[in-house]
Amino acid sequence: MTSERPGDAGSCGPPGVAASAALAPAGSAPASAADDRAFFCAQIERLTDRLYGTALRLARNRADAEDLVSEAVVKAWACRHQLHDRACFEKWILRILTNAFFSQCRRVREASLDARADDAHEADGDEGFEPFSLFDRLYQPFLLWWGNPEQELLHKLLREDLDAALDALPEHYRLVVILVELQGYSYAEAAETLAVPVGTVRSRLNRARSALQRALWEQALAAGLVHDTPAREPPHD
C-alpha cells in the first residue's frame, strides 16, 4: 500500500509551495513551455550535487541514490505545474526526492518487521540514554585567548569522519538528523514525513545528536586528534 504525500506525484510541494502556474516566477505571466523546460533543466544541472548528496545520505549506496535522483527528476517534471514560485524550486525538488525515498521505505517496511522493531526500540523511552556533548569534552574556558580546542577539532575532522558517524546511527536517528540538520525541515515537517508525533522527532533528535557527537569523539580519540579527558560539568546555575 502506498499513500500519497506531499512531494509525491499527486501533490509535489511542501506546505506553501504547491499551487498552480507552471514554473512561473511569482507574480509574472505564465511561462511558455520552452521557458519551463529551459528553467527546469538549468535548475537540475545546478542542483545535481545537492540532489545526489541528499539521496546518497538517505539511501546509503550509490546505485540507489542514483535511482532516487532520477525518480525525483521525473516526478518533478511530471508535476511541475504545482510549483508556484521558482524561488522555491530547490526546496520543492528536495522534498520530492525525500518523499520518494520514504515512499520506497514504507513499501519495504510494510513487507518486513522493521517498523515493529523500531517501535519496540522507541518504547524503551529514556532508559539507558546517556547524553553526550563534544563541547563539554573539549571546552576549556581558561584557554579562551590562546586556543580553541573545540573549534580546532571541527577543522580536523574529515568529511569521511562525519559521514561514518552519521552512517553508524540507527536508521530512525539517522533519518531525523538528515531531515532536520541537513535539509532544514521543521520538527512538524519531519514528523509528517516520518509519520511520527512531533514529540518523537524531538526525542529522536536529542538521542541522535548525542550519539553522533559520541561517535565523533570516539573517532577523534582513535585518530589521536584529542586526548581522553573527563567531561566538563554542564552549567547548573
Question: Binding to other proteins (CB under 8 A): which residues in 93-132?
Answer: none
Does residue 12 touch other proteins according to CB under 8 A? no
Q: Which stretch binds other proteins (CB under 8 A): 17-25, 39-47, 115-123, 221-229?
A: 39-47
Q: Which is nearer to other proteins, 117 or 184 (CB)?
A: 184
Q: How many alpha carbons lie under 13 Å from residue 13 in its C-beta half-sphere?
A: 19
CB 17 within 8 A of CB 84: yes
CB 13 within 8 A of CB 95: yes
Q: Which stretch binds other proteins (CB under 8 A): 21-29, 105-113, 135-143, 223-231?
A: 135-143
Of 81, 109, 206, 214, the one binding other proteins by CB under 8 A: 206
SS3 228: coil
Q: Give CA–CA dist 124/159, Å, rounded.
A: 32
Question: Binding to other proteins (CB under 8 A): which residues in 170-189?
Answer: 177-178, 180-183, 186-187
DSSP string, 132-198: --HHHHH--GGGTTT--HHHHHHHH--HHHHHHHHHTS-HHHHHHHIIIIIT---HHHHHHHHTS-H
- Interface positions with other proteins (CB under 8 A): 37, 40-41, 44, 48-50, 52-54, 56-57, 62, 66, 69-70, 73-74, 77, 134-135, 139, 141, 144, 150-151, 154, 157, 159, 162-163, 166, 177-178, 180-183, 186-187, 202, 205-206, 209, 213, 234-237
